[in-house]
Each structure stands twice: as C-alpha cells, then as structure tokens.
C-alpha cells in the first residue's frame, strides 16, 4: 500500500467518503485506479440497474380540451393526435386514460359564449363545471385539475380582464376566485391558476377555504413564461390574444431570479404544487426550483413542443417515440415530479 493511500485514508478520511464528486474523483486519480465508466453501460440489465431517474405513468398529467355539443371530436390541426371533445366523448376519453393508468387530467374548456366580463367562467352550468360532474360520475377516482384563467372566456384572449388595452390585476383576481369556487363546487380536486396575476394564489386559497373547500388543492403556474411555444394551444382553444402579447404578466424568457421570486411568493400564498412552463427550454428553472424549495414541481411540456416533434416525425426526420420518451425522461432528471403532456397516452402505452 502506498504512502499516498495511507495519508488519504487515515488523515483525510472525509475526502475519500465525502459526496463531492470532483474531489472523490481526484482522490481516485491520485491512487491511480483506472476509470472505466463504460462497465456500467455494457448491457441493458446493468444500465437499468444503475439508472438514476425514471419516468412512470404516475408522473403523467393529460391536458384535456372540452367543447360544447354532443358526440363531437375535432382534431386540433396544429396538434395532430390531440382533440377537442364534447363532454360525452371526454368522459369516454377519461375512462380510456384511467385504463392506461393515467390518474390525473387538467381540463381546459371552450365556453358557449365569450363575454368581456368573463362571467361564463364561473357559470355553475358552464362547460368546465358540467365536464367535471360528468367525468366524476363515470371515473370517480381520476384526479381532476382545472385551468383557471380568462383567456378562452373573453373576446380578448388575455388571461385577465381588459380595460383600455390594459390587463387588470385585482379585478381579474376576483373573477378567478369565483371561477375556482365554482370548479370546486362541481368536484374539482385541484384548481390550476395559469394567469400570472399578482396575489391570486393567496386570494384563491382564502376564497376556497371560506367556501368550505379547504381540501381542494392549488397547482400554481408559478413560473410561466411569455412563450411562443403556446401557439398550437391557442388554436385548440380559439384563445389567441386579439391585441398585443402576454408579456405584461407572463415572464421574460431571460430571467431566472424572477422565477425564484414568483415561486416563493406562490408557495407562501398557499400553492401545493408549483409549475414551470414551458418544459424543455426551461429545465434550468426546474432544476433551480427543486434545489431551492421542498415542494412538488410540475412541468408543462407545452403544445409547441409537442407540435415540433409531431411535425419532424411526419417528415420522417426523427424517431417520434424515442424523442418523446427522451424528452419526458429529461424533464424528470431535471427535477420535475409530474409532467403535463399531450403525449401522456402514448407514453403510458410505451411504459406498459
Ligand atoms: C392559458 C394557458 C395557456 C397554456 C395553458 N394555459 C396559453 C397561454 O398562456 O397563452 C399553454 C399550454 C400549451 O401551450 O400547451 N391560461
């Protein structure tokens, strides 16, 4: 045994056993132990044994679009394989999801009518409210989350109320509270405010509690960026902004400190789960969030990300299934606890 080893072993034991990989590696280097990391990649069995992060069907949340009418199903042109369903067909779809092992959906609705005050959003007989009741009647154990924002409910396509071209904050929060109570009343398990108004998480938490819904959770879209990756979703919901963009309330793609502040505020105000959105291009935000806060983190693999994979696959330029599975796994590796994805069904089938 060399003197080097003796010194390392007995005088700096913390160096050899500590968890700092670079110093651990340099110790091995000093000891002249040849490194052969490929030993752990030699066979599939070994690779599986040492895999650090995995994707399971429990991690998947399926975003579901519902529209008025009966017996209808329309494919979203910019999202091949994704559909708007009438409530009856949405219920059938939920049964299928449940049978595939997917246990959670996020509901988005196209209302009968858009009004400047967004009042259809809290109509107890509105599209989301009726969809929740119908789904709960048939698939009672499916966890239902509901989108809380005004973009499909006003003619402006903005997430809040609009006056003279300005997106109003506090007035919007009042409507979001009514909407949340109405969803909870219909049976939602979680409300998911995706609007990015200031103070809405605290206000919604208080309203839910006051209305007797202290068991209804809040998944907050806490770090939501003003992103061009949302285009196909806005086609799906007919909700593209009719003027300007969303950069006075959604975040600037260049910022990360601001994301930490938004997330911290939402946790302090009562969010049970926080979301980072979009997905792949924002995994540094997910990583930083997970390092810093001990809460479940959701990632939204958004419509534009889905559309890009679909388009390239249609051209035969990429292997769709592998790109899909790799994208989802990378979101888990970065620290995501759950992933909202239009690929949930395909991934669930693949994971079986
Ligand atoms: C709207 C909302 C959007 C998405 C989820 N909720 C679009 C937007 O903010 O304009 C995007 C989802 C996707 O692109 O898949 N409140």
Q: Write the pLDDT tens digit of every residue in 77-125.
A: 999 999 999 999 999 999 999 999 999 999 999 999 999 999 999 999 9
27 CB neighbour count, 10 Å cutoff: 19
pLDDT at residue 27, rounded to an integer = 75
Read off the tokens for 18: 């500590």
Spacing, Cα 27 to ligand 1 middle (Å): 49
Terminal alpha carbon distance of the chain = 51
| pLDDT for 2 | 46
Among protein residues, the one with the nearest Cα to ligand 1's atom 10 is 230
| C-alpha dihedral, 285 to 290 to 293 to 295, nearest 10° | 110
Asked if pLDDT for residue 3 goes beyond 50, the answer is: no
At residue 30, the pLDDT reads 76
Q: Is 340 exposed, middle or buried (0-12, 13-18, 19+ CB in 10 A)?
A: buried
Query: pTM of the predicted model, to two decimals?
Result: 0.92
pLDDT at 243: 96
User: Quick check: 276 and 299 in contact, CB under 8 A?
Assistant: yes
pLDDT value of residue 7: 43
Annotated binding site: 262
The pLDDT score that the predictor gives to residue 12 is: 44
Nearest to 172 by CA among 145, 210, 199, 211: 199
When pLDDT is averaged across residues 310-319 and rounded to a whole number, the result is 98
Pocket flag, ligand 1, residue 266 (CB < 6 Å) = no
For residue 319, give both structure tokens: 């292997």
Which single residue is written with the structure tokens 């260049």? 254
Span 304-324, average pLDDT = 98
Atom of ligand 1 nearest to the CA of 108: 6
What are the tens digits of pLDDT across the range 252-271?
A: 999 999 999 999 999 999 99
Give residue 9's pLDDT: 43
Nearest atom within ligand 1 for CA of residue 229 = 14
Q: Return the minimum-mean-pLDDT range out of 9-23, 105-119, 200-214, 299-313.
A: 9-23
- Nearest atom in ligand 1 to the alpha carbon of residue 159 is 16
pLDDT of residue 15: 42
pLDDT at 309: 98
Hey, how many other C-beta atoms are within 10 angstroms of the C-beta on 282? 25
Closest residue CA from atom 6 of ligand 1: 194
Q: What is the pLDDT of residues 201-254, one digit of tens each?
A: 999 999 999 999 999 999 999 999 999 999 999 999 999 999 999 999 999 999
Burial (Cβ within 10 Å: 0-12, 13-18, ≥19) of residue 103: middle
Give alpha helix (H) positions in the chain.
3-11, 13-17, 21-30, 44-49, 87-100, 127-138, 170-186, 200-210, 231-237, 257-269, 283-292, 303-314, 320-334, 344-351
Tell me the pLDDT tens digit for each residue of 323-344.
Answer: 999 999 999 999 999 999 999 9
pLDDT at 74 over 50: yes
Q: What is the mean pLDDT of residues 172-195?
A: 98
Average pLDDT score over residue span 152-172: 97
Per the CB < 8 A criterion, the answer to whether 146 and 168 are in contact is no
Residue range 46-70: average pLDDT?
98
Helix axes 170-186, 127-138, angle to 10 degrees: 30
Tokens representing 216 are 């209804």
Alpha carbon distance 68, 64 (integer Å): 14
Q: How far is the CA of 300 from the centre of ligand 1 (A)?
A: 9
Superfamily of domain 57-351: Aldolase class I (3.20.20.70)
**Contacts by 68-75 with C-beta closer than 8 Å and gap 24+?**
68/110, 68/111, 68/112, 68/127
Whether 194 lines ligand 1, by a CB cut-off of 6 Å, is yes
**Does residue 278 have a cis bond before it (omega within 30 degrees)?**
yes
- Cβ of 221 closer than 6 Å to ligand 1, yes or no, is no
For residues 178 and 204, give the distance between their C-alpha atoms in angstroms, rounded to a whole number: 8
| Percentage above 70 pLDDT, the chain | 94
């Amino acid at each position: 045994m060399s003197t080097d080893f003796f010194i390392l072993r007995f005088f700096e034991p913390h160096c050899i056993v500590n968890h700092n990989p670079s110093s651990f590696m340099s110790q091995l280097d000093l000891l002249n132990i040849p490194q052969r990391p490929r030993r752990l990649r030699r066979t599939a069995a070994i690779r599986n044994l040492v895999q650090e992060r995995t994707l399971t069907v429990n991690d998947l949340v399926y975003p579901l679009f519902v529209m008025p009418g009966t017996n209808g199903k329309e494919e979203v042109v910019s999202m091949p394989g994704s559909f708007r369903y009438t409530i009856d067909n949405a219920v059938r779809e939920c049964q299928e999801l449940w049978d595939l092992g997917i246990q959670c959906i996020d509901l988005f609705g196209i209302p009968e009518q858009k009004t400047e005050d967004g009042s259809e959003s809290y109509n107890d007989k509105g599209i989301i409210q009726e969809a929740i009741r119908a789904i709960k009647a048939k698939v009672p154990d499916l966890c239902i989350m509901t989108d809380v924002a005004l973009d499909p409910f006003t003619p402006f396509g903005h997430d809040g109320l609009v006056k003279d071209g300005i997106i109003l904050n506090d007035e919007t929060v009042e409507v979001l509270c009514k909407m949340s109570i109405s969803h909870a009343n219909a049976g939602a398990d979680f409300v998911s405010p995706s609007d990015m108004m200031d103070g809405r998480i605290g206000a919604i938490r208080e309203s839910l509690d006051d209305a007797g819904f202290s068991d209804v959770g809040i998944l907050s879209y806490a770090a939501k960026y003003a992103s061009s990756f949302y285009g196909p979703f806005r086609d799906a919901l007919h909700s593209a902004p009719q003027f300007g963009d969303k950069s006075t309330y959604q975040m600037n793609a260049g910022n990360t400190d601001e994301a930490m502040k938004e997330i911290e505020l939402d946790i302090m105000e009562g969010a049970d789960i926080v979301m980072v959105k979009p997905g792949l291009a924002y995994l540094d935000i997910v990583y930083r969030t997970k390092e810093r806060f001990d809460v479940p983190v959701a990632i939204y693999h958004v419509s534009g990300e889905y559309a890009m994979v679909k388009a390239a696959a249609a051209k035969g330029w990429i292997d769709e299934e592998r790109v899909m599975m790799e994208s989802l796994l990378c979101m888990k590796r970065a620290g995501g606890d759950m992933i909202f994805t239009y690929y949930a069904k395909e991934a669930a089938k693949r994971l079986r």
